[in-house]
Amino acid sequence: MRATRQRYKLPQIDMTPFVCVALVLITFFVWMKQLQRDKIISVYAQTRGKVDYRQPVTASLVLLDSDRIGFWQFRAGGDGDYVETHCAMPELRAILRRVALSVNPVLIIQPTAQSRIKNLVTVVDALQRNRRITYMLVF
């Protein structure tokens, strides 16, 4: 009887399951990144022309916590009035009507750390409807 030599074969690993798992993980992480993407609102920064920073500021809106806003309206003498109110649309429109009565009104919007994005959206929406007030968003 003749002895036959067996050739030594290297063990082979099937990589198909690893590729499938890698594709599932890539798909999962891409999908999660789409869900976690920040919501960015477009802010219409000016209603007309370029804002000159030497132009005097007419009023300042400070966005506070729990749907409240603080409103400073400055007078020619350097002093100002401070009013704190809720961020509801009727109160906000009344404030913006007072600001719009001055000549070339400039409004500064200052969100605080406790303010909500809902307050900012409400204020910017009201300013876009007004269209007579130049405003700047200051962080």
Lowest mean per-residue pLDDT among 26-30, 76-80, 103-107, 134-138: 76-80
Which CATH class name applies to 59-137? Answer: alpha beta
* Both tokens assigned to 64: 């506070």
Residue found under tokens 């990589």: 15
Give CA–CA dist 139/11, Å, rounded. 63
Half-sphere exposure of 46 (CA within 13 A, CB side): 7
Residue 42, pLDDT > 60, answer no
Tens of pLDDT, residue by residue over 47-89, are 444 555 556 777 888 888 888 888 888 776 667 788 888 878 8
